[in-house]
Structure 1
Amino acid sequence: MQNKILVVDDEKEIRDLLEIYLLNEGYKVIKASNGEEAIEVLEKESVQLIVLDIMMPKMDGIEVCKIVRRTMNTPILMLSAKCEDMDKIQGIMTGADDYITKPFNPLEFIVRVKALLRRAYYFNKTEEKRDNTITIDSLRIDKSKHLVTIEDKEVTLTSREFDILYLLASNRGKVFTSEDIFSKVWKEQYFQSNNTVMVHMSRIRDKIEKNMNGTKVIHTVWGVGYKIEK
């Protein structure tokens, strides 16, 4: 498969130059001139790497990186004309995988691109091989099939209910607040008066516990949140 790379920079000369470098290596290139345009592209296109300038009008690279990391693990190579350590640290902590300062050597740029793509390839292969099935007593949660069974009988959960259950089950012993669960499953800002998580949690418990003779799987930590025991 030909790797597709999104290049995001407000300077046309830089975009065109990076395109030449990448095309010469056999990559397919999509270009965006600002952060907002980049987000629009990512909503429509699947890319294997994002080359992202930090300083841009409308929406800077740091903000784009934060948005991307809410839903994607796509490798991000940050570009910047600045060389201060704090800028590098901010970019990496936001979720970037690597960082290169303008002006840069074309060879160094390509080496970093190939390293990120190679790392992502091996990571994805490892993820494919990993067993995504969790078993808790007679409860079995299969992420790859999006299937929940109790004693081999399927339990019908909505997509949100499944995601909540899998989140808790894959982090057994960890307490999640309603805000934690909402932000990770709905990927939206949580409001204090929002009882959506509580309603979903009640439905999950009803479906699970009635098929496990009343055995509690999800525990409430009063005043804190919810967890599944180790």
Structure 2
Amino acid sequence: MDQTIGLVEDDANIRDIVTGYLAKEGFKVKALETAETAWELFEGEPPDLWVLDLMLPGMDGYEFCKKVRQTSEVPIVIISAKDEEVDKIIGLELGGDDYLTKPFSPRELVARVKRHLKRWEVMKPEKEGSAELIQAGELTLNDAERSAYFQETEIEVTTKEFEMLKILAEQENRAFSREELLVQVWGDDYFGSDRAVDDLVKRLRKKMKDLPLETVWGHGYRLRSNRSSS
């Protein structure tokens, strides 16, 4: 195995334990105490996956995750003592692919790392080779750049916001249930509530006020192809 894991954790005990379990599975581990040193690694020799603590001295994990997502889709598994649902939602919306609450099982962490790496190896060629533009009314998505334009203005969106827009735009007028969107955007191993979907929709509506993103009462959401019909 020739894959490298970037571990960002300021607790030396947790850092040593996680490093040991990952190394036992054949991973190379770059163990770091701060997000600042992790950013230096990202700009130089970025790892294949990040295991990221949120509560760090200096730059916190939220900010680091946001910075990484500006240019990279590399998997990020968040580990944190913050176990409130809102903390998980924020972490995932800023670009985290998974969220484990401390204390956690190192074996479970290793299993999730392997799963995300496998998924990333499948998705990576598609993301790197695709330059497809997805058009839905006044919304344009560039899948290769992971950028969104609405009414000819570029809109800054998070990874999860982009994924939801892409799902809805590729099948205009189709009503998606909250459960469908939750699985497709967050993955089928996400254990949070479907409130995450509602919160994401609120953010998108705030950023694009005229976006014809409709609520299908008692079911979920759909993107209308014609705004006048909403």
Q: Is this a same-fold pair by TM over 0.5?
A: yes
Identity of aligned residues (%): 41
Paired residue secondary structure (2:40)? helix
Note the C-alpha offset of 1:173.
8.7
The root-mean-square deviation of aligned C-alpha atoms, in Å, is 2.9
Q: Name 1:176's counterpart in structure 2.
A: 152
SS at match of 2:122: helix
SS at match of 1:71: coil
Evaluate the alpha carbon distance shift between residue 125 and residue 64 of structure 1 in structure 2; reply closer, same or farther with a 3 A threshold.
Answer: same
CA shift, 1:131, in A, is: 5.5
Cα distance between partner residues in 1 of 2:148 and 2:12:
49
1:99-139 residue CA offsets vs partner (Å, 9 max, x unmatched):
001111122111110111011011013346x55478xxxxx
Matches within 5 A, 1:59-208: 59-127=59-127, 132=131, 174-177=150-153, 180=154
The residue number in structure 2 matching 1:10 is 10
Q: Aligned partners of 1:175, 1:52: CA distance in 2, in Å?
A: 36
Superposed, 1:17-96 pairs within 5 Å as: 17-96=17-96
CA distance in 2, matches of 1:118, 1:45: 20
Instruction: Work out the number of aligned pairs and report it.
Output: 149
Q: CA deviation at 1:174?
A: 4.8
Q: Distance in 2 between matches of 1:117 and 1:133?
A: 24
Q: How many angstroms apart in 2 are the aligned matches of 1:173 and 1:80?
A: 34
Query: 1:19-61 CA deviation, whole Å, 9 max, x = no partner?
Result: 1011000001111101111111111112110000001110110
What secondary structure is seen at the aligned counterpart in 2 of 1:77? strand
Residue 176 of structure 2: aligned partner:
none
* Closer/same/farther in 2, CA of residues 172 and 41 from structure 1, 3 Å limit: closer
- Structure 1 unpaired stretches of 5+: 135-165, 185-230
Instruction: Output the CA distance in 2 between the equivalents of 1:59 and 1:11.
Output: 15
Unaligned runs of 5+ in 2: 134-140, 158-230
Q: Distance in 2 between matches of 1:6 and 1:89?
A: 22
- Report the CA distance shift for 1:173/1:111 in structure 2 as closer, same or farther (over 3 A): closer
